[in-house]
Amino acid sequence: MDAAPSPPLEYQPGFGNELCSEALPGALPHGQNNPKACPYGLYAEQLSGTHFTAPRAANRRSWLYRIRPSVTHEPFHPINFPNESLTADFSAGAVTPNQLRWRPFPVPSEPVDWVRGLFTLCGSGRASSKEGFAIHMYVATESMTTSSLTNADGDMLLVPEQGALRLKTEFGLLDVAPGEIAVLPRGVRFAVELHNGAARGYVLETFQGHFALPDLGPIGANGLANPRDFLHPVAWYEDVEGVSYSVLQKLEGQLFVATQSFSPFNVVAWHGNYVPYKYDLARFCPMNAVAFDHPDPSIFTVLTVPSYTPGAPPTADFVIFPPRWLVAEHTFRPPYYHRNCASEFMGLIRGQYEAKQDGGFLPGGASLHLCMTPHGPDTATYERAAAGGACTASADGPAHLGHETLAFMFETSAIPRVTPAALSCPSVDRDYYKCWGPTPQQHHQHHHHHQQHQQPVGEEAPPKAEADGSGGASGGPLPQWNAQPVWDVLNYYFSWDADEDEDEEVALVAMFAGIVMMPAKRRVGDQLVELQKVHADLHAQLTAIEQSDDYQKAASLLASDPLARLNKKKFSTAMGHAWDTYVSLKNQMASVCANIAQLEMTMEQPAMKVLVSDKSGRVMERPFKDLDYVNDSWVNKLGKEHKALKRENRELNQIYHAFQKVNRNLEDEREARRDEAPPEQIEELEKATNDAITEDAFAASFWERAGRLVAPSHRGLLAESQAFAASSRAASTKKVYANPWEGFKSWCRAGGYCYLPASPVVVGMYLTTVAKTASSYSTVKLASAAIFMQHDLACEGVNPTKHPFCKAVRAAAKHLLGTAVLNQNAALKVITKIRARMSAAPDALGAALSAQQRLLERGRLLRAPAPAAAAAGS
């Protein structure tokens, strides 16, 4: 146990009771909450934890008496460090029926405070509707000395695994070591200081309600977690002024920061029943079976978050597996195999959990089994217990589950969704399922009965985490989002069929990458789409009013007598309320338009920061403009690897070669159609692309910037050069690009992607959709040229269309579409031809033909023969 460097703190015991505390004698007002003048000139401030009219038993609030009110701060603004690892909305997460396990999350070597080290693993619901919960890991290597956090999203239960913490709160100090827990209610300002070096642990955040003690039913009045063991701080304050203090606020998973000149921990006295607290898990008084069989693990519930609906399952339970005696006779003592209605997230504070002997479930790691996912003791545990071996848990007499082990569970009734970041982080243990497979000894033992050579099952191999060096509790970079080949992760968790069309797979991986990499842009994009809906709705309402008689009357009255409006009574009596409504809608419209313009600027703002990972997988923040598409390079790399795999696939190669032999006619037909295309059309397109750089399609902001840049005496020259540059292009050619560019923009907006600069992944996907419906390659090429031109002009040096992925898509489209028409009718003709041939074809060729036919029928137009695609991709 870690020792606190300072004398033990004072606490107040109880659970949910009314408490009061003052750090200076007489600081707490007597007989009322907010007297006209508080003692010592303090400010009274209420902090409510429930709605004002909540039933008395559930009502939570506290009164704080502070040196300065909390409101004394500069305006909040979004924080400028990456917080994409943090979320409070799980509508976009992934679910999987597979068992999930994470090896210990690495603690970074660089300075990271508790807030920056928060990393969301999974959750359900969303903070915006105060429903559901989130589960995070935290890692920290430095104390929060001049910053505090307020979580507006819900209560947080902290389970330290490594490193003792001092929680500075508005209510006072709490020292919390591994083996203890703390609850920080919604809204309470706190700072996390480290007592002795790096810290790591788990957080259960509930968006609804508060943690409560479970009912005890037939157990009676005592047992499990007893109320008197929950400890609350005593008032403590620091009177620090003239500093630059950062007050952080988490709201819907986003972090905001405001600065103020004084410490927020300036509460001299307080009273109430809405107070942070801690609890030592060693005080838990467990109940258990004393004859045979197992009670359900609900018997170990420490705290619960009740549902809004009485009698409904709790939103979340915090359950521990404490040291205890096992005495059940003729009973399989490790936890039984099960599939539960609830979902279970498990963590390990210390020791080795009784149901996992394989060394893969380690302190600082985690496991997650969603609703009805089967799990239970691993094979090693099962064999040891069933054989009645030396393991204490399998003996028939009383056995003690050692004090060195402490595991816990966050059990939830709603199904948690896993964040893409958690699914793709390097800690994911993709061999987890193997712990239920046969042990290596089983083969030898069962076949040769060489029992004397069998090692103890638990010692068969060093723990995986040690073997691969990632299990250490120190060193290593921050939790990494995308260093792991996402392809493998997807392939494992979603068991994607490796024989599926490869282009589609690469596109899906790319979309996954988009979720990981661009949540900030997506958020802005989503807002933009929402506002555009509001805009359309307002426009419709305004149009309806403009067509009404009342409006016509009002308009003509105003036209003849502009002052009529001043006599408001007369005017509105004459016109009904139509005019008022119209004016109000017009105002709303103006505000919506301004918002849209601002969001569009944000979307096009190249200075927006994004997270990228370098080749070693280290995650860092970069301006979006300078992003060198690291995420896309691994998509491309994975695509190449995948193609290499496919080339090795003998069966496919056979099909391909067989198909090539019999398909000469089809190829000839394509060649013929390609030859039909007028060469001057191609030349014109290519010339257009090359000339695009001189096109006067510079963003308006370019000219604005230019206008500010040049000396006043040169403004005339600037206008002249603008006109000069524009004269290099015919107006008709400019028009050629306008529509394809608009098409791309609206497609991006609908998908929530940034279009300037656009990721090559986005461009590749868009060109794919264009190719699917295009009748000839020129359409694809035109779209690509339009995107090329816009980027060439607007984003110096960054052009997604040059990316190998986009090149590959264009090559594939060119190969398939040629420049001639290959529409559905043509495809059907090909199919008919193939069918006719099939009647005469030998078996292998028949298989090849039917494979090709199936593809054509499925409309997967991008299936180019492997050599062509490989050449284009390299």
Q: What residues are annotated to the active site?
A: 294
- Considering the complex, what minimum distance in angstroms separates the CB of residue 429 from Fe ion? 17
**Cross-sheet strand order for the sheet of 11-13:** 11-13, 230-233, 277-280, 180-184, 155-162, 199-206, 131-140, 118-126, 417-418
CA gap 491, 475 in Å, rounded = 29
Q: What are phi and psi of 449, to 5 degrees?
A: 55, 35
Cβ(853)–Cβ(841) under 8 Å?
no
Q: Is 338 annotated as a binding residue?
A: yes
- Considering the complex, what minimum distance in angstroms separates the CB of residue 374 from Fe ion? 10
Place of tokens 């597996």: 321
Parallel, antiparallel or unpaired: strands 277-280 and 11-13: unpaired
Nearer to Fe ion, 121 or 619 (CB): 121
- Considering the complex, what minimum distance in angstroms separates the CB of residue 335 from Fe ion? 7
Judged by DSSP in three states, 66 sits in: strand
Total residues interacting with Fe ion, rule: CB under 5 A: 1
In terms of Cβ atoms closer than 10 Å to its own Cβ (0-12, 13-18, 19+), residue 253 is: buried
Cβ neighbour number for residue 222 with a 10 Å cutoff: 9
Nearer to Fe ion, 344 or 429 (CB): 344
CA gap 368, 375 in Å, rounded = 10
Q: Looking at beta carbons, which residue is closest to Fe ion?
A: 344
Nearer to Fe ion, 344 or 695 (CB): 344
- Using H for helix, E for strand and C for coil, what is the string for 447-507? HHCCHHHCCCHHHCCCCHHHHCCCCCCCCCCCCCCCCCCHHHHHHHHHCCCCCCCHHHHHH
| Residue 861 vs residues 24, 389, 769, 780: alpha-carbon distances, Å | 78, 61, 10, 13
- Considering the complex, what minimum distance in angstroms separates the CB of residue 433 from Fe ion? 15
- Considering the complex, what minimum distance in angstroms separates the CB of residue 419 from Fe ion? 21
| Contact pattern from residue 530 through residue 559 relative to Fe ion, giving x for each residue in contact according to CB under 5 A and a dash for the rest | ------------------------------
Helix, strand, coil percentages in the chain from 3-state DSSP, rounded to 5: 40, 20, 40
Nearer to Fe ion, 73 or 375 (CB): 375
CA gap 272, 279 in Å, rounded = 19
Nearer to Fe ion, 369 or 815 (CB): 369
CA gap 575, 562 in Å, rounded = 14
Cβ neighbour number for residue 666 with a 10 Å cutoff: 16
- Considering the complex, what minimum distance in angstroms separates the CB of residue 340 from Fe ion? 6
- Considering the complex, what minimum distance in angstroms separates the CB of residue 405 from Fe ion? 16
Nearer to Fe ion, 369 or 521 (CB): 369
**Residue 411 is a binding residue for Fe ion (CB under 5 A):** no
Nearest to 110 by CA among 591, 476, 480: 476
Cβ neighbour number for residue 397 with a 10 Å cutoff: 8
CA gap 261, 37 in Å, rounded = 24
- Considering the complex, what minimum distance in angstroms separates the CB of residue 339 from Fe ion? 9
Q: Is 344 annotated as a binding residue?
A: yes
- Considering the complex, what minimum distance in angstroms separates the CB of residue 355 from Fe ion? 8
Cβ(697)–Cβ(793) under 8 Å?
yes
CA gap 746, 541 in Å, rounded = 24
Question: What's the first-to-final CA gap in the chain, in angstroms?
Answer: 56
Q: Is 466 annotated as a binding residue?
A: no
Nearer to Fe ion, 101 or 250 (CB): 101
DSSP state of 868: H
Nearest to 210 by CA among 15, 46, 49: 49
Nearer to Fe ion, 344 or 358 (CB): 344
Nearer to Fe ion, 319 or 655 (CB): 319
Nearest to 407 by CA among 212, 159, 229: 159
DSSP state of 287: -
Nearest to 669 by CA among 556, 820, 801, 550: 820
Place of tokens 């098409």: 743
CA gap 64, 266 in Å, rounded = 10
Q: Is 353 annotated as a binding residue?
A: yes
Nearer to Fe ion, 191 or 409 (CB): 409
DSSP codes, 141-179: SS--SSEEEEESS-EEEEEEEES-EEEEETTEEEEE-BT
Contacts of 790 (CB under 8 A, 6+ apart): 697, 741, 756
Q: How many CA within 13 A on the CB side of residue 20? A: 12
- Considering the complex, what minimum distance in angstroms separates the CB of residue 369 from Fe ion? 6
Cβ neighbour number for residue 30 with a 10 Å cutoff: 7
Cβ(60)–Cβ(50) under 8 Å?
yes
Nearer to Fe ion, 298 or 728 (CB): 298
Place of tokens 């490594």: 162
| Contact pattern from residue 130 through residue 159 relative to Fe ion, giving x for each residue in contact according to CB under 5 A and a dash for the rest | ------------------------------
CA gap 123, 141 in Å, rounded = 25
| Contact pattern from residue 272 through residue 301 relative to Fe ion, giving x for each residue in contact according to CB under 5 A and a dash for the rest | ------------------------------
| Contact pattern from residue 318 through residue 357 relative to Fe ion, giving x for each residue in contact according to CB under 5 A and a dash for the rest | --------------------------x-------------
- Using H for helix, E for strand and C for coil, what is the string for 803-846? CHHHHHHHHHHHHHHCCCCCCHHHHHHHHHHHHHHHCCCCHHHH
Nearer to Fe ion, 99 or 649 (CB): 99
- Considering the complex, what minimum distance in angstroms separates the CB of residue 810 from Fe ion? 51
- Considering the complex, what minimum distance in angstroms separates the CB of residue 75 from Fe ion? 47
Annotated binding site for Fe cation: 338, 344, 375
Binding residues for homogentisate: 353, 375
- Please report, as ranges, the residues that interact with Fe ion according to CB under 5 A: 344
